[in-house]
Structure 1
Amino acid sequence: MIKYLCGYFTSSFLKKRIKNIESFMRYPIEIQNQLIHQLIFYARDTEFGKKYGFRDIKKYQQFDERIPLCKYSDLKSIIKRIRKGEKNILWPGSVKWFAKSSGTTNARSKYIPVTSFSMNECHYKAGKDLLSIYIHNHPKTKIFFGKAVRLGGSHKLYKNYNTFYGDLSSILIKNMPFWADYICIPGKEIALMSEWEKKLENIIIKTVNKDVRIMLGVCSWILILLNKFLKKFNKKKINEIWPNIEVIFHGGVSLTPYIHQYENLFEKSINYYNVYSASEGFFAVQDKKNVEDLLLLLNHGIFYEFISVKDINEPNPKILSLDKVELNKNYALVISTNAGLWRYIVGDTIRFTNLSPYRISISGRTSHYINSFGEELIIENAEKALNVACIKTDSIIHEYTAGPIYINKKNSGAHEWIIEFKKHPKNLVDFRDILDKELKFLNSDYDTKRYKDIVLGPPIIYVARNGLFYDWLKKHKKLGGQNKIPRLSNDRKYIDSILKMERI
């Protein structure tokens, strides 16, 4: 009885939030203008606010003229001070939590401040709105009458400064409001375990007999967990374990390379809802059934600006406000947030698919692409082309990464793809040719560079052994949480590191 009452009241509460969502969809520019003034007002007496005269800023134009763009490297020394307990630097008061960026190599990690403001007015608020949208799209849903399985990371104390760092997911789980914590399993003790493989085993034990209806996490890691379930209990379909499972809320990596594997796990179709959440903030959610683009969240403590990808490496790139963006152009995302990030270049690239309301698709990373020969290949191109190649060759990809093979005296350049197949194509040459053809179709720069193989030859595909990418992540202590495989790289750092593992 208690679970049905809780489910009813939770559902009723969340249904009311749809009006808030409709408001920023209807008045996007007004909401964003109001938001930037609120952020400036809150931070007017911080060290950063005093330096740039926040008390005198009355218009966006003044903000645009005074506040410089920044990357993490510009904030590193400032954030170190905040981590040691200094107050009123970028945002009022002290900051207790820092989201450690997942990264994909041994490069130094970033520590992104997470304030109580950003937790409540960004991440949790966005989570409530995502559920509100889901209820609106599925009015007969009964997801709140069961449980949600969450996959998260872990956190640690930073020396003796009483500040903590870890995966964003672990921070949100640790501070989760009671209504959300009630429906989530396993408990925090297991959810925040640092040893990933032991965590999976504990999750399996604690959730196998529960009425699970929701899963939340990075889709690649959810897939690993589901496959472990089937193997441990000798089942063919997840519905044999959780008959009422209804939806997977996923983010971090694209579902596209994994969708065929997911479809094979369930005996009846379930819903998949994508979210665009990062250490820096919760940016967008899928607001329509079976549609890939995402609704940009405009009233969640983040003020958005954009730089054309073509200008991103210019010393003084042109910065665009939301009302100046155009459809189907790639932009680097710039944010100012209620965690004290000001005109911060996130590193993601997005493309607007709709301007009323503002909807986006994630096209890649400013650092994850291949442009060694002027081909400007982005993740969006790669995943669409791979998906077509899989469909046409009846194959399934488990993981992949790609990088350049450089031009030398004897050979033109090429792209080398390391692919771990769940289901191998019958003819690898056919797979390669379809991939190549689709990349030409999707990317005119790639097509030009492939002309007669003069600059860029056909793709070279290396078929990885089963478990190679998992072993690589394990070796680099990147299992679980928000960690992910680097999809594209403009150098051979990842490629060579992974191939070295293959030869061991």
Structure 2
Amino acid sequence: MALIDISLPRSVARALRLPAKSPRRQQIRVLKKLLKKARFTEFGQKYRFDEILLSKHAGKKFQQLVPTYDYNKIYAEWWHKTLEGKRDICWPGKIKYFALSSGTSESASKYIPITNDLMRGNRIVMIKQLLSLRTYHDIPVKSIGKGWLMLGGSTDLQKGPGYYAGDLSGITAKKVPFWFSPFYKPGKKIARTRDWNSKIEAIVEEAPNWDIGFVVGVPAWIQMCMEKIIERYQLNSIHDMWPNLAFFVHGGVSFEPYKHGFNKLVAKPLTFIETYLASEGFIAYQDRQDTHGMKLALNDHIFFEFVPFNNDNFDADGNLVENPEALMIHQVEEGKDYAILLSTTAGAWRYLIGDTVRFVDKERCEIIITGRTKHFLSLVGEHLSVDNMNKAIKLASEELNVNIPEYTVAGIPHGLFFAHQWWIACDDAVDPELLRQKIDDSLKELNDDYAVERNSALKEVYLNVLPVSKFMEFMHLKGKIGGQHKFPRVMKGKMFEDWATFIETGTISKPA
């Protein structure tokens, strides 16, 4: 029986048959549901949730009474109490699970609260995405009923005083619904493995015993796993092992830099399905093939606000200013970049997640991820986004027929002016100077500000080509191997210091 035909619990089925409403009405309903549930918490009492609920304009009142938060601020004021085991702080009850998330720029781990309400909302959004596959054309739906290889963090979570902590993917796998267990690979035993290399080896060993139709994970690690399987069993493609493999569900980073490499591993096209699943919640998903955008999950467990990503709302380091302009879903415009504020069923309130998005279809509420608030380069006003970089890498790799799965960029001094330094991961033979020119020329076409500054204060672009293994080795030394960890596209601060040391010496400095 295909997974898509499994009978769903009645409560979930009701949640999936939602009446058509305007995005604004959907979001106000979600906000009121969140406020009602959390009104007796410490947070809800301090910020007068009851008063907001009585207001005729709940959205505006919410924005007036509740301040914005980034992780450091909300942890210092509120979440540290939940980690200490206190109840009813930002969400009713005691928080028993925390997702460890360090992002790609900070070195210290963040403890993101995970609740049963959040996990339930995530599952509902996941099922909605599954059901949306029925609308795809020429999709082998039978593959959904095959095995699902979910390559994530260990389910053997760290035990704290009254809580468990680990990767969200590990927590999710540990709490897999009973009806999903027959499909779930690599299985609970391998999923508990903490050592990433040991986990990959175990998956490679078991690969011939599975009939995989779906793979789920971060592109870099899925690609590495497939390459090891092909190498171990001397296959021409991954389809020699898994002929029913049809879907790859990915998220966390743009897939464009990886697509060329993936095409070399398959014998027939895969359907690539993008998701936007963060530690803070399941934010959006691709529900149709003929678009690059993902549909926001507006009617479930997250209330969204959108902060225009500009100099009025963010400082030069990408930090949110006090009292920024925050828009609701009906106020956004297509083609502009916004940072997202989330309020969720895990006690995140007006929380800056750190990603920037752009609406590509406002009517359908479809977005693309364009980067991070702290992962952009604007030394002299070039306003270079990760989205620009991804497109330039894609164009260059296709034109030169090379695979570039990873890259990173830093801004550096150049006399009295500035330059960009690129490091490119590529195991194919490529002329670094030609690659540099291709990327530079593409960015000039993609970004008018960049083109202007290349004739002004942005004096030079440098590029070094490194083996892919060099990037993986750095991630290993940083303790960011596997799971949901992604290589930072822009190097700044302590991460850049460590990267520069690593490039020069092959090691990184350890904290005192």
Instruction: Say yes or no: TM over 0.5.
Output: yes
Q: Is the 8 A contact 2:67 2:323 kept in 1?
A: no
Per the alignment, residue 40 of structure 1 pairs with 35
Residues 1:449 and 2:453 aligned together? yes
Show the counterpart of 2:131. Answer: 132
1:222/1:499 Cα in 2 relative to 1: closer, same or farther (>3 Å)? same
How far apart, CA to CA, are the structure 2 residues paired with 1:291 and 1:192? 36
Residue of structure 1 equivalent to 2:461: 459
Q: Which residue of 1 aligns with 2:253?
A: 253
For residues 445 and 235 of structure 1, what CA distance do their matches in structure 2 show? 47
Q: Which residue identity is paired with 1:444?
A: D
**Paired residue for 2:59?**
60
Which residue number in structure 2 is paired with residue 487 of structure 1?
489
Q: Deviations over 1:391-418 (max 9, x none)?
A: 2222221211110121325xx4211111
Matches within 5 A, 1:180-259: 180-259=180-259
After superposition, what is the alpha-carbon deviation per residue over 1:107-161, rounded to whole angstroms, capped at 9, x for unaligned? 211111011000002x1112111111123315651023311111111253343x2
Amino acid corresponding to residue 343 of structure 1 in structure 2: R
Identity %: 33
Q: Are the counterparts in 1 of residues 432 and 464 from structure 2 also a CA contact under 8 Å?
A: no
| Residues 157, 171 of structure 2: 8 Å contact kept | no
Q: TM-score, normalised by structure 1?
A: 0.92
Match of 1:408 in 2: 415
Q: 2:200 and 2:360 mapped to 1: Cα distance?
A: 37
Per-residue CA deviations over 1:328-385 (Å, capped at 9, x if unaligned) read 0000100111111110011000000011110000000001111222211110000001
2: CA distance between counterparts of 1:211 and 1:40? 45
Residues 408-437 of structure 1: CA distance to partner in whole angstroms, max 9, x if unpaired? 25xx42111111113233x33232222111
CA distance in 2, matches of 1:22, 1:422: 49
User: 2:157 & 2:501 partners in 1: Cα distance?
Assistant: 28
Instruction: Give CA deviations for 1:179-202 in whole Å, capped at 9, x if unaligned.
Output: 222211111221131100000011
User: What residue number does 1:357 align with?
Assistant: 364
SS in 1 for 2:217: strand
How many residue pairs match? The answer is 491
Residue 389 of structure 1 aligns to a residue whose secondary structure is helix
* 1:233-312 alignment runs, 5 A limit: 233-310=233-310, 311-312=312-313
Q: Are 1:9 and 2:44 counterparts?
A: no
Q: Deviations over 1:32-58 (max 9, x none)?
A: 111101100000100001111111113
Q: 1:19 to 1:254 in 2, by over 3 A?
A: farther
Are 1:438 and 2:442 an aligned pair? yes
- Structure 2 residue 477 is the aligned partner of structure 1 residue 478: no
Cα RMSD between the aligned structures? 2.2
> C-alpha distance in 2, partners of 1:61/1:463?
50
- Kept in 1: contact 2:283–2:296 (CA 8 A): yes
In structure 2, the CA distance between the partners of 1:187 and 1:503, relative to structure 1 (3 Å rule), is closer
Structure 1 gap segments, 5+ residues each: none
Give SS of 1:142's match.
helix
Residue 330 to residue 105, structure 1, CA distance change in 2 (3 Å): closer
Per-residue CA deviations over 1:191-229 (Å, capped at 9, x if unaligned) read: 131100000011122232211111011111100100010
- Given candidates 343, 347, 352, the residue that maps to 1:336 is 343
* Secondary structure of 1:470's aligned partner: helix
Letter in 1 for 2:451: D
Deviations 1:76-110 (A, max 9, x none): 23222212211000000111110111433662111
2:379 aligns to what SS in structure 1? coil
AA in 2 matched with 1:45: F
Residues 1:324 and 2:322 are matched in the alignment: no
- After superposition, what is the alpha-carbon deviation per residue over 1:284-308, rounded to whole angstroms, capped at 9, x for unaligned? 1011115221111111200000111
> After superposition, what is the alpha-carbon deviation per residue over 1:201-258, rounded to whole angstroms, capped at 9, x for unaligned?
1112223221111101111110010001011111120011111111011111111101
Relative distance call for 1:503 and 1:185 in structure 2 (3 A) is closer
Corresponding letter in the other structure for 2:193? M
Amino acid at match of 2:158: L
Distance 1:198-1:390 versus aligned 2 partners, 3 A rule: same
- Give the aligned residue type for 2:64: E
Aligned to 2:382, the other structure's residue is in SS state: coil
SS at match of 1:396: coil
TM-score (norm 2): 0.91
Using a 3 Å threshold, how does the CA distance of structure 1 residues 261 and 166 change in structure 2: closer, same or farther? same
Q: Pick which of 101-110 and 140-149 moved more.
A: 101-110
**CA contact 1:309–1:332 (8 Å) conserved in 2:** yes
Question: Following superposition, which runs of at least 4 residues in structure 1 exceed 4 angstroms of deviation?
Answer: 16-26, 501-504
Q: Contact 1:302 / 1:338 at 8 angstroms: preserved in 2? A: yes
Is the 1:347–1:365 contact (alpha carbons within 8 Å) kept by the matching residues of 2? yes
